[in-house]
């Protein structure tokens, strides 16, 4: 019978375990669900015969918190959790967040900043020589020297700052088992230097002889163009078929060496991962605190694929999961769907069937599984590659099967749908089915911007592709007799975006009668092309200068322009328009974004005239009442009498 992993000595005793093989230390609370990377890694190790205990969110100020399961026989695995701990803690404005989806009751502050480093140092206080293997998104994206937005500096490889022995980067299912087998055989952790998908450190220069030598850490820290070149070398070496071993030098004495990535998982391997008997929820010890909020988003969702060939420059997927699509079989997904329909809380709705990109189910072309992805060419941007194979038939078939399952009322598609890939499909069946069966009123898509200048830096297709998609989406919904809308995700202040570009976006929104509720400021997370642009003000792809909006006030103006209708944004929008020489957009004409001055007068319905109208939430009805809610008819009469008396007195004088 399935059970949670041991989280205490008492749990170990119940299982008859005197000493665990491994202890997994995590920045997230313990959730045993395949949407959580820590759960997959632990269960994979367990499947291969290793006993694993779990310490979720240890108190990093207390050495004893790391000892609750005792000393593991073989070593520690450490990750910050499903998110980079700094992204988890801080907004793009570097303000502390107030909610943590991966902590009991959403409580913030239960993990430290730079959690992987802190946890490893905590372990080293007690276990000086015990092997430590780090992984997860935080370690994966910080595996070599990298720009850190929160400290605004270039930081060393996390392998050095943490004191860990090995990084298992990427998804890690194969590499962690190989590492475990090496340790179990008696091999010293310092000799585990050959496993794909790992990074190790050494002082032995002989290990560098067959590697591609990157600029040293001292060089990338001192010179931004050198940093940009080094990053792009790493970026084009993320394919498991073509990547070379990379070497980064520190102080002419220490070498951090990245082996090429692991090969993509086969479909059978993917199926095996999801066939494991997970508990599919959070540990019951969190129930008293309100549970773990993140489970709500994934409990009734299905992961169909991993990897993405979309090529968005602000996304870290290329660095973490790679560009080659790996997908599960229909049988595997349907079996999981049947399992979740038996959950007492299931109401008939599968919330999502997808992955990083919902409508990618196969590699973008036939050659990828033999010779890898193109090193200096993307599949979808700036235009469609001639070798791209566009086919939604497999995904359509999968969704059809899921819809027909007993107890299933509706199957939603809420992962990102790549609209350009949809447009390149000559068969409209997928889009028609999407509108008819898998959308409920709104479909969220991510054009991110409308200026082709900015779209080029974002790694997104020409705006004409998005416009065509909008037209087709509207046409199909009309044919189906449905009133459904597109909700565009938009990003402000991405590298390359000028004030003129932001104004062009505002005009587009005006012309298309759109009022975005949410806008994402560009967030420079580790190891993306866009973050490199942000830091260096250079496009690493061609080493040309790129404009970067870093001034907080200008960033506020760019953001305000996207929501120009909001009264609170009036001053920023007006300032931006004047600064850009676009006073033609200030006025009362249909082409104008804002009136020439604030109009504070309210009509009797409580709405601002001549500006973005919003009901007065404090008063349901204002007829016959002044702003304080008292009857104003008598007061108005007295005021008129006094006004008439003053006028008559002036006339007499």
Rounded CA separation 349/298 (Å): 12
Q: Is residue 181 part of a domain?
A: yes
Average pLDDT over residues 418-430: 97
Average pLDDT over residues 131-155: 98
- Please tell me which residue, 581 or 634, carries the higher pLDDT value: 581
The domain tally of the chain equals: 2
For residue 125, what is the domain's CATH number?
A: 3.40.50.280
Q: Which of 388, 419, 439 is the last residue of a domain?
A: 439
Q: What is the pLDDT of residue 612?
A: 39
Q: Is residue 231 part of a domain?
A: no
Average pLDDT over residues 264-272: 96
User: Could you tell me the pLDDT band of residue 616, with boundaries at 50, 70 and 90?
Assistant: very low
Q: Is residue 529 part of a domain?
A: no
Q: Same domain for 39 and 168?
A: yes
Closest CA relative to residue 277, chosen from 47, 52, 81:
47
Average pLDDT over residues 549-561: 97
Q: Is residue 420 part of a domain?
A: yes
Q: Same domain for 29 and 162?
A: yes
Q: Is residue 136 part of a domain?
A: yes
Average pLDDT over residues 124-135: 96
Query: How much is the mean pLDDT over the chain?
Result: 91
User: Could you tell me the pLDDT band of residue 1, with boundaries at 50, 70 and 90?
Assistant: low
- Please tell me which residue, 610 or 574, carries the higher pLDDT value: 574
pLDDT at 593 over 60: yes
Rounded CA separation 624/631 (Å): 6
Q: Which of 387, 417, 439 is the last residue of a domain?
A: 439
| Number of Cβ atoms within 10 Å of the Cβ of 557 | 26
pLDDT at 597 over 90: no
User: Could you tell me the pLDDT band of residue 615, with boundaries at 50, 70 and 90?
Assistant: very low
Q: Which of 152, 169, 193 is the last residue of a domain?
A: 193
Average pLDDT over residues 372-387: 93
Each residue's pLDDT tens digit, 40-53: 999 999 999 999 99
**Ordered DSSP codes for 601-620:** -B-TTS-BTTS-----TT-S
User: In 3-state terms, what secondary structure has residue 594?
Assistant: strand
Report the sign of the C-alpha dihedral through residues 184, 186, 188, 194, in that order.
Answer: negative
Q: Is residue 119 part of a domain?
A: yes
User: Could you tell me the pLDDT band of residue 598, with boundaries at 50, 70 and 90?
Assistant: low
User: Could you tell me the pLDDT band of residue 258, with boundaries at 50, 70 and 90?
Assistant: very high
> Comparing 197-211, 462-476, 630-644, which segment has the lowest mean pLDDT?
630-644
pLDDT at 603 over 70: no
Per the listing, tokens 């007799």 go with: 481
Q: What is the pLDDT of residue 2?
A: 81
Q: Is residue 598 part of a domain?
A: no
* Structure-token pair, residue 397: 């078939």
Q: What is the pLDDT of residue 626?
A: 35
Rounded CA separation 587/242 (Å): 57
CA distances from 392 to 124, 354, 397, 417, 582 (A): 50, 13, 9, 12, 44
> Comparing 22-31, 125-134, 442-451, 626-635, which segment has the lowest mean pLDDT?
626-635
For residue 375, what is the domain's CATH number?
A: 3.30.750.210
> Comparing 470-474, 520-524, 552-556, 641-645, which segment has the lowest mean pLDDT?
641-645
CA distances from 210 to 206, 244, 247, 259, 428 (A): 9, 9, 9, 11, 49
pLDDT at 124 over 80: yes
Average pLDDT over residues 577-596: 96
**Residue 415 structural domain:** 300-439
* Angle at CA of residue 85, ends 79 and 91, nearest 5°: 160
pLDDT at 642 over 90: no
Q: What is the pLDDT of residue 339?
A: 97
pLDDT at 650 over 90: no
Each residue's pLDDT tens digit, 470-518: 999 999 999 999 999 999 999 999 999 999 999 999 999 999 999 998 8
Average pLDDT over residues 361-390: 93
Q: Is residue 227 part of a domain?
A: no
User: In 3-state terms, what secondary structure has residue 202?
Assistant: strand
- Please tell me which residue, 602 or 527, carries the higher pLDDT value: 527
Closest CA relative to residue 575, chosen from 594, 551, 592, 600:
594
Which percentage of the chain shows pLDDT scores above 90? 89
pLDDT at 606 over 70: no
pLDDT at 220 over 90: yes
């Amino acid at each position: 019978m399935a059970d949670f992993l041991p989280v205490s000595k008492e749990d170990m005793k119940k299982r008859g375990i005197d000493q665990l093989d491994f202890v997994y230390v995590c920045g997230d609370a313990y959730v045993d669900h395949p949407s959580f990377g820590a759960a997959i890694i632990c269960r994979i190790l367990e499947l291969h015969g290793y006993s694993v205990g779990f310490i979720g969110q240890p108190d990093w100020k207390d050495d004893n918190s790391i000892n609750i399961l005792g000393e593991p026989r073989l070593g520690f695995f450490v990750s910050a959790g499903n998110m980079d701990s700094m992204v988890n803690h801080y907004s793009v404005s570097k303000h502390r967040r107030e909610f943590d989806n991966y902590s009991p009751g959403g409580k913030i502050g239960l993990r430290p900043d730079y959690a992987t480093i802190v946890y490893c140092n905590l372990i080293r206080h007690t276990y000086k020589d015990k092997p430590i293997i780090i992984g997860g998104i935080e370690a994966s994206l910080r595996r070599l020297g990298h720009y850190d937005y929160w400290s605004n500096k270039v930081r060393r490889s996390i392998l050095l700052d943490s004191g860990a022995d090995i990084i298992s980067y990427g998804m890690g299912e194969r590499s962690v088992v190989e590492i475990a087998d090496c340790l179990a055989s008696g091999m010293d952790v310092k000799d585990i230097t050959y496993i794909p998908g790992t990074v190790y450190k050494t002082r032995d220069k002989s290990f560098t002889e067959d590697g591609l030598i990157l600029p040293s850490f001292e060089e990338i820290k001192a010179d931004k163009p050198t940093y940009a070149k080094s990053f792009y070398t790493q970026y084009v070496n993320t394919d498991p078929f073509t990547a070379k071993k990379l070497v980064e030098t520190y102080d002419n004495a220490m070498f951090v060496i990245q082996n090429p990535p692991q090969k993509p998982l086969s479909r059978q391997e993917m199926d095996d991962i999801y066939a494991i008997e997970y508990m599919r929820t959070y540990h019951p010890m969190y129930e008293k605190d309100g549970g773990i909020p993140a489970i709500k988003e994934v409990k009734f969702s299905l992961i169909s694929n991993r990897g993405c060939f979309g090529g968005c420059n602000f996304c870290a997927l290329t660095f973490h999961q790679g560009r080659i699509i790996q997908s599960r079989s229909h049988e595997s997904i349907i079996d999981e769907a049947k399992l979740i329909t038996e959950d007492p809380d299931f109401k008939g709705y599968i919330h999502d069937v997808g992955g990083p990109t919902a409508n990618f189910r196969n590699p973008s072309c036939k050659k990828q599984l033999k010779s890898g992805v193109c090193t200096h060419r993307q599949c979808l941007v700036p235009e469609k590659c001639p070798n791209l194979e566009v086919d939604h038939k497999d995904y359509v078939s999968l969704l059809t099967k899921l819809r027909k399952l007993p107890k299933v009322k509706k199957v939603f598609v809420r992962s990102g749908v790549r609209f350009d890939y949809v447009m390149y499909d000559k068969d409209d069946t997928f889009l028609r089915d999407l509108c008819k069966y898998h959308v409920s009123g709104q479909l969220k898509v991510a054009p991110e911007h409308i200026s082709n200048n900015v779209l080029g830096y974002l790694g997104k297709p020409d705006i004409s592709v998005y416009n065509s998609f909008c037209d087709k989406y509207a046409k199909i919904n009309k044919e189906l007799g449905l009133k459904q809308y597109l909700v565009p995700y938009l990003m402000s202040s991405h590298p390359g975006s000028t004030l003129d570009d932001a104004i062009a976006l505002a005009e587009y929104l005006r012309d298309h009668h759109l009022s975005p509720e949410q806008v994402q400021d560009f967030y420079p997370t580790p190891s993306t092309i866009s973050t490199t642009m942000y830091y260096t003000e250079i496009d690493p792809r061609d080493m040309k200068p790129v404009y970067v909006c870093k001034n907080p006030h200008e960033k506020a103006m760019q953001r305000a322009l996207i929501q120009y209708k909001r009264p609170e944004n009036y001053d920023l929008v007006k300032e931006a328009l004047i600064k850009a020489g676009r006073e033609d957009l200030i006025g009362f004409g249909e082409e104008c974004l804002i009136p020439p001055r604030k109009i504070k007068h309210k009509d009797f319905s409580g709405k601002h005239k001549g500006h973005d109208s919003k009901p007065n939430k404090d008063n349901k009805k204002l007829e016959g009442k002044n702003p304080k809610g008292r009857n104003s008819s008598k007061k108005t009469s007295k005021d008129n009498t006094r006004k008439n008396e003053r006028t008559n007195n002036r006339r007499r004088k």
